[in-house]
Structure 1
Amino acid sequence: MATAPTLILYTVAGKSRPGEHCWDDPSVPPYFYEDRDMAKQALLDLRTHLQAGRDPDDSLICLERIETVPMTAAAIMALLNDGFSAIVKDYAVIETIGED
């Protein structure tokens, strides 16, 4: 019997709201990446954009690694009906840019 795949995704999140996830905030469009390097480049580009004329503390940004549950038909239905949080098995902040 084949096992459903588990996905590893990366995303960028602001650190101004600890404990909140970008995928739970409807005002922040979530961008997900398959590749850590692509996600880190997006993080650096976003930080450069945010630093223009802002307090440096406002531009602390985290790179997060997300592992999904096995992507079965039930998981896809949960994603469609309940949102991205329904398929998150584990996540971790793997890097923070902007801290001294």
Structure 2
Amino acid sequence: MSQGGSFTFYSYARVDEGRDDRWAYTGIPDIFFYDEGSAREALRELREDVESEPESSWPPMQLEKIETVPISRESIFALLNDGIGAFVKSYEIIDIID
């Protein structure tokens, strides 16, 4: 089976140093973006929404860069059956928004 290229996406998540598996299902879906600017803007808007609520506090959030494994039939099945973690080749935290 031929393989396609891999892709780079961006996302964000709550900073949680005690979490062993970044890609484990938590009940809150991950949201992905084509570019860093879009992810950063969405995170800025989320922060404004949270901080506009009385008695709400902003938890530190991490902005992430994600590279997928090469696209193939096998990698798509892994994504569908095992979740996003099976499709991630690497990810890095590129910023912490306090």
Q: What band does the TM-score fall into relative to the shorter chain?
A: 0.7 to 0.9
Count of residues in correspondence between the two structures: 93
Amino acid in the other structure paired with 1:70: P
Question: Taking every aligned residue pair, what percent have the same amino acid on both sides?
Answer: 33
Runs (4+) off by over 6 Å: none
What is the Cα deviation at residue 3 of structure 1?
5.1
Write the deviation string for residues 34-91 of structure 1: whole angstroms up to 9, x where unpaired: 1111000011111222223234xx5211100000100111100110111110011100
The answer for unaligned runs of 5 or more in structure 1 is none
**Runs of 5+ consecutive residues of structure 2 not aligned to the other structure:** none
Q: Aligned equivalents of 1:25 and 1:84: distance in 2?
A: 9
Amino acid at match of 1:54: S
Aligned to 1:13: 13
Which residue of 1 is the match for residue 26 of structure 2?
Answer: 26
TM-score (norm 1): 0.82
Aligned-residue CA RMSD (Å): 1.7
